[in-house]
Structure 1
Amino acid sequence: MKKSKILGVAVGAALAMGLSSSAFATNGYQLDGIGQYQVGMGGAVVAAPGDPMTALTNPAGLADITPQVAFSAEVFNPTRRANFGFGEIGSHTNIYAVPSLGFAAPVGGGLVFGGGMYGTSGLGTNYIQGIPTAFQGSFGGANTLIASSSLQQFEFAPALAMKVNKHLSVGAALDIGYEQAAFQEQFGGARGQSGFNLSSPTSAYGIGLTLGVLYKVNPMVTLGLSYKTPQIYSPLNWQESSQFFPAAFDPKTGAVSGATGGAGEYSAHLNYPQQVAFGLAIRPIKPWLVSIEGQWINWKGTLNNFNIYGPWNGTNVVSLPTHWHNEWVFNFGTQYNVTPGFQVRAGYVYGSNPISSANTAANLIFPAIVTNAVTVGATEKMGMGWKLTEAYMHSFSNTINGGPLLNGLPVGPGYAENTSSTLSENSFGVQVGYDF
């Protein structure tokens, strides 16, 4: 069997998720919260806005907060392990930075202008592994695996909000997105490298809307609702010399059929999903806030299949079957004012896993699989309008197990292990704010 063909089978299966997306402290590849107030509240903020980062979660909240500016810097630390079929390996890149900057300012007539620039997602994997001798025959003599993915997404979101009356606020934000992506999975040996290679970083731009409503039933109860439209991105483009995408493997003859591509431009779209969030915030007593929220994220609408267009022989497109499910997310957050100048917070997040065990092999490069997270945070008012907010998040480890990488087919001596992905996450951030 030709080396490029049998290696391509593994490439196609494992890269399927890598070409989909990646993220920080995550529901799928979406942040639990943007900025440290939201992280500390476990993301339960659609009915409890607390800082200018509400422009992306519920822009109506801009009309309900003090005019202010805030800058957040977060260090995100995911721990990832994967088994490609010949032993578990950890990713070699585990530290990422997440910046956010937001503001809110009244402009007259009951209107508030706000928004900012926000890091919304951006993660990846960097697996490098020597292939044990017992498995090299199954991979055409290859002795090295290189499997990496990288995606960074940022949003600029100018927003307007209006306090219609003492009960009702409405708002809208224009979500202008920027993403940079690169992906690679190759097997190397004495005869060089073989596999899928889109490793040159490339960029794309997207646009969408976030609409929000905030309704104060009474001083104790507030309701919040937000809707984020699909964010449509321009194509990601790569100039490459050749590609191979496998379609089928015949274990009797050892023949692999699939699409090969020549030199030219390859492109893909990586859009951001539509979603709806509903929240309820209650103050049992004046210093104590309790907030709960439910979200629905339409991952299936953007990541059920991922098409790669290019100069493929006999066709202009191949499809990677990513098969993400829609996700339901529950957020809980609570805050207590210990003193007028000191607040403490805690939160919990549960999100259904958008990746099933059956799709483990197709999601090895980015295992967006965590389902439970806890958070804590605090804010200290420093005087003269300045305040400092900190938050810590821990997503508990989760593992999914699937069949062999090569679709369960016998491909050679020694290759018998099933694929698996494991992910846990930690983050710590500091936010500096100033109230006008």
Structure 2
Amino acid sequence: MKRKLGPATLAVATFAFAGAAQATNGDQMIGVSATQWGMGGAAVAAPQDAGTILTNPAGIATLGIKEVRFDTGIGLLNPPRKVNGFESDSNFYMMPSGAVAFNVNDRAFIGLGMGGLSGMGVDFPDVAAAPGNQSFVTTKQFFKVAPGLAYRVTDKLSIGGAINIDYQSLAIYNAGFSLPQNQVYGYGATLGAIYKLNDMVQLGASWISRQKMSDFKWNIAGGNATFPAPLGFQTWTGGTAELQMDAPQQISFGIAVRPIKSLLIEADVKHIGFSDVMNSIPVTRTGGLPPSVPAAFNFGWEDQWVYAIGAQYDLNDRTQLRVGLNYGESPIGPEDVNNNIGSLAVTELHATVGVTRWWTDRIATSVSYAHAFHNKVTSNVAPFNTIELEQNILTLQVTYRF
């Protein structure tokens, strides 16, 4: 899609593009549903709801579904954040999710999952150390729909797969330029497997492919402006700017253990390939564009290893309690802070709690709370910008099965 852009300089584009992308593990949410959040994101080996079709599709074959199961929910994200001491407005974001899974026969299951898996935004009145000392506002959304299926190969092994249909939107506004709301679509795939080693131990693995997105495109009008030396006064005729922002590949492994019938403990490790999609994003330039339009946005994100552990305790036949921890080193290092002045994707340690209550044999509600502890990163090169973030996430979920 294309949008018209006024004849303003794009000098601070590098700072703003990443500004919309921030969440928990880099720009990826650690969970889809309240049960996943309550386990600290550790859910690849022993999933607890139909939302597993988005993370490990094999899981829908392990839920004991007799006919059909629905899981739907909403998350409320509160991310207090600062750049050089300036606080961002727009501090609340909604994160919808939902999934349904059907029992086709004793071994085959089909399902559909959907959810907002990445994105947020910033709304800073000023960023002192940024060029021009100007305010800027950004929004980014990434939403996935995943139809899939699972098959119970044996009583011990289940496999599954899902097709990913992706939607992504991006908008950037500041005093230097504006990139109006733009939507693109993409695709990918998810594969997974779960193996029950014995009555106590269960193993899981999943692979989410790189999500290939279509290109964002903007029309840039002709104009003129005076730039810092040595450029000076410049005139341009106008043209287009185009870039592609894919979502990263993810590979996860997990082990779940039940030392006693009422206690489940799971530990997961996940690799997120940020360096393939957020290291350097080329910009395709056509026509006569202002010299401030770069050839690439060099964000410099590094791959991330994520470690999650969660525990679930059955208080009784109808109530389950959960607690979890999740850690992943920030993909943004001190050397790249100045290229990510709006990208506050720096939280590392998360603590989570959750509870599920079955009101009847068919209906349950789940609630989880997650806190991403405050973290800040300061540039080790001039102008020594500092970005900082913490997060609070409350998630509600309703389950119906029959």
Compared CA separation, residues 245 and 331, structure 1 to 2 (3 A): farther
> Aligned to 1:110, which of 98, 102, 107?
107
Question: In 2, are the aligned partners of 1:8 and 1:245 still within 8 Å (CA)?
Answer: no
Aligned-partner SS, 2:36: helix
1:205 aligns with 2:185: yes
CA deviations on 1:153-191 (whole Å, 9 max, x unpaired) are 1110001000111110000010110011112332xxxxx
Match of 2:72 in 1: 71
Tell me which amino acid in the other structure corresponds to 2:21.
S
Match of 2:156 in 1: 167
Match of 1:430 in 2: 396
Tell me which amino acid in the other structure corresponds to 1:28.
G
1:344 aligns with 2:321: yes
Match of 1:377 in 2: 354
Match of 1:176 in 2: 165
Compared CA separation, residues 146 and 260, structure 1 to 2 (3 A): farther
Q: Distance in 2 between matches of 1:270 and 1:261?
A: 26
Counterparts of residues 33-432 of structure 1 (less than 5 Å): 33-67=31-65, 68-83=69-84, 88-108=85-105, 110-129=107-126, 145-186=134-175, 195-198=176-179, 200-241=180-221, 254-256=229-231, 262-311=237-286, 313=288, 318-402=295-379, 408=382, 418-432=384-398
Compared CA separation, residues 16 and 182, structure 1 to 2 (3 A): closer
Tell me which amino acid in the other structure corresponds to 1:66.
G
Question: In 1, are the aligned partners of 2:239 and 2:288 still within 8 Å (CA)?
Answer: no
Q: Distance in 2 between matches of 1:98 and 1:258?
A: 45
| More off after superposition, 276-285 vs 300-309 | 300-309
| More off after superposition, 102-111 vs 364-373 | 102-111
Alpha-carbon offset, residue 311 of structure 1: 3.0
Tell me which amino acid in the other structure corresponds to 2:206.
S
Question: In 2, are the aligned partners of 1:148 and 1:365 still within 8 Å (CA)?
Answer: no
Q: Distance in 1 between matches of 2:294 and 2:207?
A: 32
Aligned-partner SS, 1:325: coil
> Aligned to 1:29, which of 15, 27, 52?
27
Q: Distance in 1 between matches of 2:247 and 2:283?
A: 17
CA deviations on 1:334-388 (whole Å, 9 max, x unpaired) are 0000000000000000001100011111111121010000000000001151000
Q: Distance in 2 between matches of 1:34 and 1:362?
A: 29
| More off after superposition, 303-312 vs 373-382 | 303-312
Structure 1 residue runs of 5 or longer lacking an equivalent are 187-194, 409-416
Q: Distance in 2 between matches of 1:392 and 1:307?
A: 38
Q: Structure 1 length normalisation: TM-score?
A: 0.84
CA deviations on 1:72-126 (whole Å, 9 max, x unpaired) are 111000011002xxxx211111100000010111112611001221111120111
CA deviations on 1:228-253 (whole Å, 9 max, x unpaired) are 1111011112233259999x97xxxx
Alpha-carbon offset, residue 23 of structure 1: 4.0
Tell me which amino acid in the other structure corresponds to 2:162.
A
Aligned-partner SS, 1:301: helix
Q: Distance in 2 between matches of 1:121 and 1:293?
A: 20
Query: Sequence identity of aligned pairs in percent?
Result: 31
Q: Structure 2 length normalisation: TM-score?
A: 0.90
Compared CA separation, residues 353 and 165, structure 1 to 2 (3 A): same
Tell me which amino acid in the other structure corresponds to 2:393.
S
CA deviations on 1:116-160 (whole Å, 9 max, x unpaired) are 2111112011111397xxx9xx96xx6x61212211111100010
CA deviations on 1:182-204 (whole Å, 9 max, x unpaired) are 12332xxxxxxxx2421x10101
Aligned-partner SS, 1:53: helix
Match of 2:4 in 1: none
Compared CA separation, residues 71 and 16, structure 1 to 2 (3 A): closer
Structure 2 residue runs of 5 or longer lacking an equivalent are 1-6
CA deviations on 1:24-63 (whole Å, 9 max, x unpaired) are 3x10110110010000000000001110110111110010
Alpha-carbon offset, residue 227 of structure 1: 0.8
Structure with bigger gyration radius? 1
Tell me which amino acid in the other structure corresponds to 2:285.
G
Question: In 2, are the aligned partners of 1:48 and 1:281 still within 8 Å (CA)?
Answer: yes
Instruction: Give the aligned CA root-mean-square deviation in angstroms.
Output: 2.7
Tell me which amino acid in the other structure corresponds to 1:183.
I
Compared CA separation, residues 242 and 302, structure 1 to 2 (3 A): farther
Tell me which amino acid in the other structure corresponds to 1:429.
T
Question: In 1, are the aligned partners of 2:45 and 2:202 still within 8 Å (CA)?
Answer: yes
Q: Distance in 2 between matches of 1:116 and 1:244?
A: 48
Q: Distance in 2 between matches of 1:233 and 1:93?
A: 27
Tell me which amino acid in the other structure corresponds to 2:125.
I
